[in-house]
Structure 1
Amino acid sequence: MTLPSTFPPTRIGIVAIGRNEGERLMRCLRALEGSGARVVYVDSASTDGSAARARDWGAEVVDLDMTRPFTAARARNAGLAALIGGEPGDVELVQFVDGDCELDPAWLGTATAFLDAHADVAVVCGRRRERFPEASVYNRLCDMEWDTPVGEAAACGGDALMRAAAVRAAGGFSDTLTAGEEPELCARLRAAGWRVWRIDAEMTRHDAAMLRFGQWWWRAVRGGFGYAQAGDATATLPQPLYRAEVRRAAFWAGVLPFVAVVLAMLIHPAFLLLPVAAFAAQVVRMALRGGRPRGMAWRHAFFTMLAKVPELQGVIRYRRARQATSAITYK
């Protein structure tokens, strides 16, 4: 896609990040051809030749320092620094995109027009879809997760168009966050008076390639880690993040089973069935609530509840190693 002539090419820059994305990265870069935007790819110690392939394609490649822990936040900051240097200059807007995603051909023009019409919005995102939702129930769950409400939002994901000056004034992403770096940045932007918006437009196609239960479980562990870490990072802001998510994980996977065990020891072993009964009742309630794609209501409800266990595992991992950003990685 060629950007509208009213937008000079240097006005928009693109930062893609990745680690061992292989062909997914090449699909990501090929989707940017003809955009007229400068592309910076930040590689986190890939061993599959991703950096070389990106250079051959024509992207400016930044190799992260291997002596420091890798985080997506570090990668995004490094890409932003390479793109705008010390000053934003001609690059007013930065499109962040993960290396396993493909940008929709119409997205940049649509998102840029929205920001031009809304001077108080610093971040705009659209619909991220799974490339192969039919490949597994886990991919399908991801696709449902990406389908967030249209309108003013609390946060964005890894793909979003942002005002470079606003991000720079906020101090960029928090390098030490190993998960939840985008919501944490959005929280600081909103505290500074900016708004975040999700528009009804196709933005990216994401290739989770999540085909095994173990992959889903680890993603939920990382989610819990991110809830706790981003929650601590925004604790002093007017609207701290993820308190409810951490409480729910602690209740369903921690407090309720603990109470059941105590009651079983003190009163009757039948109390061990309490968490199972409560879990089943909650699954039924969520499934019957509606609003889910055909055939996914029960599976979505079941996995939403089951996720509380690995989420609590992630919270505990964070609490045990609060300063050890190498304890969990984004890839």
Structure 2
Amino acid sequence: MTGTTRNTPDHNNLQHIGTSGTAEVTAIAIGRNEGERLMRCLRSLLPQVRRVIYVDSGSTDGSAEAAERLGAKVVSLDMSIPFTAARARNAGMAEAEETAFVQFVDGDCEVEQGWITTALQALQSDPALGIVAGRRRELHPEASIYNLICDAEWNTPVGPARAVGGDMLARRMALEAVSGFDPSLIAGEEPEMCLRVARAGWGIARLDTPMTIHDAAMTRFSQWWRRSRRAGHAFAEVSWRHRRGPEQFWKTETRRSIFWSGLLLAILLAGLIVSPLCLAALAIFPLQIARIALRDPEPQHRWARASFTLLGKLPEAVGVLEFHLRRMSGKRAGLIEYK
């Protein structure tokens, strides 16, 4: 699963669809205990695709039964095997083997009307494209600074992309070329899969069009901390697995987390052991926040986003260290959830 595939796809023999294209798309939603968020997700999908598959990971809130009543095909994972989102996505793809295109979506997202038609046209017009994504937005960015940070995070550059997140329209042939998602990853499985898809010769693109509305529902600092810690774990694990690759994938993100957290620790220790005057070096942190803020193209809330970007290096570094400690001890990592 983690090995790379470098075979160039035969773009001249791809299956194309007609103008009624959405009949060739199966949607796969994944989730656990998403409640009404899942219902909104499925209702947004049902009018747009041939069929909807919902992969449930041990919900106890009646999600599976409610999804079935709405008309979705429900696949329930065997929870005696460690759960990962990647495993859920693979299970959905196995159930959707009759369609050429697959729309993946997280169960806490609504799919914008018209997205699938637009995305399908993009794949039709460029047979070398394997995956496309659009703009994901937060449902309530005003509810908390943490939701606001997520909304900014989703606003990735339009055009050729290195990777996309969990919401995407994918050409099944491209995913099969790399054996889908790596089920052993507890986070970061989508960018890791995209790396292998790109190595196999397929294109990945972010379209300038609305795609999904996400409900992060983050109102507490502890939720943001866990989410950032999970990001650090993903940076470390994926960059370690592909450490010999020419892309240097996520190595910069991993190093930044360690650098800024290590620098803070070094300054604090110097202040305690050498001299309190060493604490003056802490001025580098507000300077870095200013640097990040002034480079932010969105002026509204830029200082808050910049502050949390730098502060986030601490939980990210915790996640990095967690991964490497577990790797050296041979222990399997458990899920890091923020909801």
Q: What's the TM-score bracket when you normalise by the shorter of the two chains? A: over 0.9
Q: 1:257 aligns with which of 258, 264, 268?
A: 264
Shift of 1:119: 0.9
- Asked if residue 77 in structure 1 is aligned to residue 82 in structure 2, the reply is no
- Asked if residue 127 in structure 1 is aligned to residue 135 in structure 2, the reply is yes
Q: In the alignment, residue 314 of structure 2 is paired with which amino acid?
A: V
Shift of 1:133: 0.8
Q: In the alignment, residue 267 of structure 2 is paired with which amino acid?
A: A
In the alignment, which residue of structure 2 is the partner of 1:7? 20
Shift of 1:279: 1.0
In the alignment, which residue of structure 2 is the partner of 1:62? 75
Whole-angstrom distance in 2 between the partners of 1:129 and 1:265: 44
Shift of 1:239: 1.2
Shift of 1:82: 1.1
Is the Cα contact below 8 Å between 2:21 and 2:120 reproduced in 1? no
What value does the CA root-mean-square deviation take over the aligned residues? 1.7
In the alignment, which residue of structure 2 is the partner of 1:287? 293
Distance 1:223 1:36, change over 3 A: closer
Whole-angstrom distance in 1 between the partners of 2:171 and 2:34: 27
Is the Cα contact below 8 Å between 2:186 and 2:234 reproduced in 1? yes
Match of 1:40, SS state, is strand
Whole-angstrom distance in 2 between the partners of 1:49 and 1:27: 15
Distance 1:137 1:116, change over 3 A: same
Whole-angstrom distance in 2 between the partners of 1:166 and 1:191: 11
Is the Cα contact below 8 Å between 2:159 and 2:205 reproduced in 1? yes
In the alignment, which residue of structure 2 is the partner of 1:236? 244
Is the Cα contact below 8 Å between 2:229 and 2:315 reproduced in 1? yes
Whole-angstrom distance in 2 between the partners of 1:51 and 1:120: 36
In the alignment, which residue of structure 2 is the partner of 1:224? 232
Match of 2:192, SS state, is helix
In the alignment, which residue of structure 2 is the partner of 1:21? 34
In the alignment, which residue of structure 1 is the partner of 2:182? 174
Shift of 1:9: 5.1
Whole-angstrom distance in 1 between the partners of 2:140 and 2:305: 17
Shift of 1:261: 4.4
How do 1:1-331 and structure 2 match up within 5 A?
A: 6-7=19-20, 10-84=23-97, 89=98, 91-254=99-262, 256-261=263-268, 263-264=270-271, 267-274=274-281, 276-294=282-300, 296-322=301-327, 324-330=331-337
Distance 1:297 1:200, change over 3 A: same
Whole-angstrom distance in 2 between the partners of 1:164 and 1:236: 27
Q: In the alignment, residue 202 of structure 1 is paired with which amino acid?
A: P
Using structure 2 for the length normalisation, give the TM-score. Answer: 0.90
Shift of 1:240: 3.3
Is the Cα contact below 8 Å between 2:22 and 2:117 reproduced in 1? no
Q: In the alignment, residue 139 of structure 2 is paired with which amino acid?
A: R
Using structure 1 for the length normalisation, give the TM-score. Answer: 0.92
Could you tell which deviates more after superposition, 46-55 or 284-293? 284-293
Q: Deviations over 1:175-217 (max 9, x none)?
A: 0011110000000011111111001011000000011111111
Q: What is the percent sequence identity of the aligned residues? A: 48
Shift of 1:286: 1.6
Q: Deviations over 1:269-322 (max 9, x none)?
A: 221342x3111110112222341242x110011000000000001111111112
5+ residue gaps, structure 2, are 1-16
Aligned length: 320
Q: Deviations over 1:213-233 (max 9, x none)?
A: 111111000110111111122
Whole-angstrom distance in 2 between the partners of 1:56 and 1:240: 46
Is the Cα contact below 8 Å between 1:69 and 1:325 reproduced in 2? no
